[in-house]
Structure 1
């Protein structure tokens, strides 16, 4: 049978007990799914641990802890309390003394009416018990109304609409963040103090902040490590230029999908990866972790940098993108840099960009190469796209098929909003006209 073949090929010892851990979110489908899973696992004789309601990243944390117990790479205590204690302790190692005084007012967090709301409330309780300078204003917490999950709120809504969650008025000088529904993505934003316009700090900005701070700390600690950043083609061109030209760091571009970013980040001693949508984390090699712990300090500044590197390695959830962990490490960096969100936003200015959805008869007709940035099929289409790109200052565009529906997505950038929109509509028109557009041709396509 297929199962027997899998057992043989993977050299699975069936005499060892299977250990399964699971959790669920706040959606009403959770309890019946858990009940069915529990019955199936019980029938198979598996050892089962039900963690109840957790965020997706929290469950990843539990698995890592269980799989590393009793080893030199032990990751922590596999409980909710262990998770909160690890993050809170690491944060306060990073933010103490003068850095603590730089935290002004609460961070307002939109939890998208998802599982992040009750779990962030528990984390906030852990911080309050430690008399933390960081306070949380937890918003969009209606987890008992399934229809409200990600409805006019959450990280994707905020990034796509370039506006705050519905019903939340942004006050200049305040800090805001939005999780997605399962709390593995985060974006930050604020109201410009001059004209109150909405300003977004997305995954590209988070990657730049993290990479900059790690480079500074490693230099201060006199540690030579290979620091790199992993992006996808959807990363804004200005962010890539900032990383390569200003920070002088290597940048890898990979296909869309967390599995591609995570694996590429493992090539670095400190691998920073974030998708523009706010999903990402930082990975540390064993060499880096050893250097943080064993490098001898030669001065108070040297010792401080080493302690901060150790604390960051504990604060960051290396298993997967984690909105709560990412929220804390951004807040810790800003406190140490004495930066408000406006100062962080000044590192570089995003090029105007636009994402256009084009309905097609057959998405399988589109094949890409070079990390999704170039088409190899349909034949001849890429050459026409290149000709359009060449007409625009700082122009960039690519076409990528959806993995789930007969749609292709056109991404475009250019030096001005007008040029960007024109480029996006021209490329979308080429796709529709030359590669099997479906339905009525949208009037905005050029």
Structure 2
């Protein structure tokens, strides 16, 4: 019976000691905090990824070093399971336990406990593929991760600097290679080739697409879009902005998808670049989120967020399913979170089933898998479309009876190739949006007019311990602290069309407050009043209370 190489693990573990004053937690986005504190975590994640691979009989596990939309000084790491999906929930706890073992001896003890409790056969092979975004801290963190791979004896493939969605793609492509479920060529070029070919087929014969401006957030998306353009040819002109990868502090700074969604305005760096009526979009730091927008003829900014993308894409897919003659066999559904704008939920619910789940990609992805075609987008611009294996098989076998059905079927099959079904992917989603707009002959104005957003506001309150706040009903109701939900409901009743909820962040010690109302000023007021309730609840000092909460 094989066993751990204790001497090797000890020697390498001592190089990566755990900071004594930090407690780490594997959350919805993996581990994420200041990059300077994560050295020990990366080493231990290397071992954990190896053990996960051994548990799954040598299937390739992915490891991505990124902090997505966070500021440049942050970093993080997440583990990707064999089909390109998020790490199985039960293993999130193992990751947290291993990361918090205070010293080498207790870390080894925790490893042995994990091996015994999950019945891992250490004689099995282990394989990983790993990558990082452009953060400066990524270089040293990758080195710590590689020490973890050495300690467990992993065969490791370095995918270099790339987007999070490409890493997810690679994991699935490697694990399905040579099988009937082959996802594509297991290389970055294979990813670009797959998307480029599908896009060309889908826009063939459509009017020329006008130039689209892309805010690359000064992140790895700048590299990826430049490469993707080689495979798109002249089908879609792309204008790249915020592509500085060497300017310290530029990553996600006053640009990118999170800035647009949070501030609800155009990044300052684009003011002189986005033309009236032109479509623009912003990626985030690792290119898994996408936010669209345009300026009308008066120069007014209009945001087209994840909810707008879901409405556009879902209604288009429903039309294609109907046109193909498969509406009685293939059921399309949409998954949202409580952050979805109430107007978008109403628009979608009039057309197809809509389900609300807790925030976090793993919840959305899992729920979307229950539909034949599941569409999920968070309002923040993270989302994708999943075609079930049964549905993909049905599309391949189906014999259309008219030319119109044949055309619609071809479009559906090409969509299965264009869409990165493993995870939200800003590049794939951007091409998907452009396909729908080309088919519908929509500008940003027509797309925006599908429904009118209810005014909303999102604010955050810094707290000492976010775990004090617990929720139910897909995070739409607080159950702790006791009594706070009733106070919130009392406030909400004072505002026409009022809706508000409070939930703890999955990645930092803040509580997020969302509010909607019919009038913008009332949505703002409701959000800040609820934030004030939260601030008071956690024992905030009134003298230090932020003035906007008063």
For the superposition of Structure 1 and Structure 2, which TM-score range results when normalised by the shorter chain? over 0.9
Residue 62 of structure 1 deviates from its aligned partner by: 0.4
Cα deviation for residue 406 of structure 1 reads: 4.4
The correspondence for 1:133, drawn from 229, 235, 244, is 235
Farther off after superposition, 280-289 or 418-427: 418-427
Report the Cα distance in structure 1 between the residues aligned to 2:121 and 2:536, rounded to whole angstroms.
56
Instruction: Return the match for 2:222 from 117, 139, 151.
Output: 117
| 2:260 aligns with one of 158, 163, 169 | 158
Correspondence list, 1:115-264, <5 A: 115-128=220-233, 132-168=234-270, 169=272, 170-193=274-297, 195-223=298-326, 224-245=329-350, 247=351, 249-264=352-367
How far apart, CA to CA, are the structure 2 residues paired with 1:9 and 1:380? 40
Matched, 1:417 2:520: yes
Alpha-carbon contact 2:505-2:512 (below 8 Å) kept: yes
Please point out which of 85, 92, 100 is paired with 2:200: 92
2:167 to 47, 54, 59: 59
* Runs of 5+ unmatched residues, structure 1: none
Moved more, 31-40 or 323-332: 31-40
What is the rounded CA distance, in whole Å, between the counterparts of 1:361 and 1:2 in structure 2?
Answer: 28
Give unmatched runs, 5+ long, in structure 2.
1-108
- Cα separation, 2, equivalents of 1:160 and 1:187: 11
2:200–2:235 contact (8 Å) kept in structure 1? no
Does 1:432 find its partner at 2:544? no
Correspondence for 1:331 among 429, 434, 454? 434
Q: Which residue of 2 aligns with 1:68?
A: 176
Match of 1:370 in 2: 473
Higher mean alpha-carbon deviation, 364-373 vs 24-33, is at: 24-33
Q: Could you tell me which residue of structure 1 aligns to residue 143 of structure 2?
A: 35
| Counterpart-to-counterpart distance in 2, 1:107 and 1:63 | 30
Q: Report if the CA contact (8 A) 1:361-1:438 is conserved.
A: no
Pair 1:37–1:432, CA change in 2 (3 A): closer
State the 1:235 CA deviation: 0.8
Alignment CA distance shift 1:45-1:225 (3 Å): same
Matched pairs, number: 437
Label 1:435 to 1:4 Cα distance change in 2 as closer, same or farther (>3 A): closer
Q: Counterparts of 2:303 and 2:292 in 1: how far apart (Å)?
A: 6
Quote the residue 2:373 is aligned against. Answer: 270
Q: Distance in 1 between matches of 2:156 and 2:508?
A: 36
Distance change (3 Å), C-alpha of 1:343 and 1:121: same
**How far off its partner does 1:8 sit?**
4.2
Distance (whole Å) between structure 2 residues aligned to residue 306 and residue 404 of structure 1: 41
Task: Assess, with a 3 A threshold, how the Cα gap between structure 1 residues 137 and 387 changes in structure 2: closer, same or farther.
Answer: same
* Cα offset, 1:414, TM superposition: 0.4
CA deviation after TM superposition for structure 1 residue 240, in Å: 0.5
- Measured in 1, the distance between the counterparts of 2:164 and 2:410 equals 29
| Cα distance change of structure 1 residues 52 and 378 upon mapping to structure 2, 3 Å threshold | closer
> What TM-score does the superposition give when structure 1 sets the normalisation length?
0.93
Q: Would the alpha carbon gap of residues 11 and 226 (structure 1) be closer, same or farther in structure 2, given more than 3 Å must change?
A: farther
TM-score, with length taken from structure 2: 0.76
Q: Does 1:14 align with 2:122?
A: yes
**Alignment partner, residue 546 of structure 2:** 442
1:103 maps to which residue? 209
Q: Deviation string for 1:26-83 (max 9, x for gaps)?
A: 2222333333433442454321211111111101100000111122211010111111
2:15 matched residue in structure 1: none
After TM superposition, the structure 1 stretch with the greater mean CA deviation from structure 2, 214-223 or 25-34, is 25-34
Give SS of 2:160's match.
strand
Deviation at 1:5, TM superposition (A): 4.1
Q: What is the rounded CA distance, in whole Å, between the counterparts of 2:245 and 2:348 in structure 1?
A: 39
1:60/1:319 contact within 8 Å kept: yes
Secondary structure of the equivalent of 1:109? strand
Task: Report whether the alignment pairs 1:392 with 2:495.
Answer: yes
SS of alignment partner, residue 400 of structure 1: strand
Greater mean deviation of Cα atoms: 249-258 or 395-404: 395-404
Give distance in 1, aligned partners of 2:231 and 2:249.
30
What SS does the aligned partner of 1:148 have? coil
Distance 1:190 1:381 in 2: 39
**2:126–2:155 Cα contact (<8 Å) kept:** yes
Q: Does 1:293 align with 2:401?
A: no
Cα contact 2:177–2:186 (8 A) shared by 1:
no
SS in structure 1 of the partner of residue 408 of structure 2:
helix
Q: CA deviation at 1:297?
A: 1.2
